[in-house]
C-alpha cells in the first residue's frame, strides 16, 4: 500500500506481547488443562513506547505448521515449562480471533500453583514470545502490522511486562530492559536515534563487567568481589547492541 512500508527477513530481536482481550481459563474438556488465546488479530496494542502494533490474521500460520517445538512456559521462564508441541502436551491453532492454545498441565508443584491461581482469577493474561519475519510499518513510523512471525513460546503471565530479568537489571544496574528492547527494535529496522547509544553503551559495560571481558587478571592474592553473571538473554542483547553501535555510530 502507498502509505505503508513492508520489511521482511527474520529479525534478531525476540519480542514479547500481552493482549488484554486474550483469554485464559481452565479447560472444559481436559481435567487440569488450561486454554485460551495468546494473541488476537486486528486490534491495536497499547502504546509500546514509541509505536503501536496489531497482528494480521495468518501471521502464525506458517510457524504453527513448520515449528514443531514451541513451548508453553510460566512468565516466559524456561525453568517453568508446562507444555510442548513436540510431545503434544501443547496444542496451537489459528482462527478468526487469534492464536489459540491448549495445554495439558504436568503434575508439578508450579503447574498446580498456576492452576489454582487461574481458578482464583489471580492470573488472567497470556503472552507470547516471537521474532518478526515480515511486518508492515506506517509511513509515520509509529504503527506496525505483524504479517508473519516465528513463535517461540506462549506463556500465562502475572504481569504484562518482562519477568525477573528486567527487575534485576533495573535494581542492580539502573537499566530498563524494556528501553533496551525498544532501542534494539529501532536498530533492527534502521531507525536508531542518538539517545539509543547510551543505552547500548550501558548494557555492553554491564556484560563486560559481569563477565570480566577484556580485563586483566587481578594480582595474585587480591580477591575481586563476586558478581552474579547476567543471563543469556542479556548477553544476546549486548551482542546486538555492540553490532548496532558499530553500524550506526
Q: Which three cell numbers stand for residue 128?
A: 507470547
Measured at the CA of 193, the angle between CA 190 and CA 195, to 5 degrees, comes to 145
Contact (CB, 8 A) for 43 and 21: yes
pLDDT in tens, 143-194: 889 999 999 999 998 765 433 334 444 555 566 666 777 787 778 777 788 8
pTM of the full predicted structure? 0.64
- Can you give the pLDDT at residue 175? 66
Q: 139: which DSSP letter?
A: T
Q: For residue 153, what are the CA distances in angstroms to 15, 68, 186, 197, 212?
A: 11, 11, 23, 30, 32
Distance separating alpha carbons of residues 179 and 191, to the nearest angstrom: 15
Q: In what order do the strands lie in the sheet with 90-94?
A: 24-26, 34-40, 98-103, 90-94
pLDDT in tens, 46-66: 776 667 889 999 999 999 999
- Can you give the pLDDT at residue 163? 34
Question: Which residues sit opposite 16 in a β-bridge?
Answer: 129
Distance separating alpha carbons of residues 191 and 144, to the nearest angstrom: 13
Amino acid at each position: 500500500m502507498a502509505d505503508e512500508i513492508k520489511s521482511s527477513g527474520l529479525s534478531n530481536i525476540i519480542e514479547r506481547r500481552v493482549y488484554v482481550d486474550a483469554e485464559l481459563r481452565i479447560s472444559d474438556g481436559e481435567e487440569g488443562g488450561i486454554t485460551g488465546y495468546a494473541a488476537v488479530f486486528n486490534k491495536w496494542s497499547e502504546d509500546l513506547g514509541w509505536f503501536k502494533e496489531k497482528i494480521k490474521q495468518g501471521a502464525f500460520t506458517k510457524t504453527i505448521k513448520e515449528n514443531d517445538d514451541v513451548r508453553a512456559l510460566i512468565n516466559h521462564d524456561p525453568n517453568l515449562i508446562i507444555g510442548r508441541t513436540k510431545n503434544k502436551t501443547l496444542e496451537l491453532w489459528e482462527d478468526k480471533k487469534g492464536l489459540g492454545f491448549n495445554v495439558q498441565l504436568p503434575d508439578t508443584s508450579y503447574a498446580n500453583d498456576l492452576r489454582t491461581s487461574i481458578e482464583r482469577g489471580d492470573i488472567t493474561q497470556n503472552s507470547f514470545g516471537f521474532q518478526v519475519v515480515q511486518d508492515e510499518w506506517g509511513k509515520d513510523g509509529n504503527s506496525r502490522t505483524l504479517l508473519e512471525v516465528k513463535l517461540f513460546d506462549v506463556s500465562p503471565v502475572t504481569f504484562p511486562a518482562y519477568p525477573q530479568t528486567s527487575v534485576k537489571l533495573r535494581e542492580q544496574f539502573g537499566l530498563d530492559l524494556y528501553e533496551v528492547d525498544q532501542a534494539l527494535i529501532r536498530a533492527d529496522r534502521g531507525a536508531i536515534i542518538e539517545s539509543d547509544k547510551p543505552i547500548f553503551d550501558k548494557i555492553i559495560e554491564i556484560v563486560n563487567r559481569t563477565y570480566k571481558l577484556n580485563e586483566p587478571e587481578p594480582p595474585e592474592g587480591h580477591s575481586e568481589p563476586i558478581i552474579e553473571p547476567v543471563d543469556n538473554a542479556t548477553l544476546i542483547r549486548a551482542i546486538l547492541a555492540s553490532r548496532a553501535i558499530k553500524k550506526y555510530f
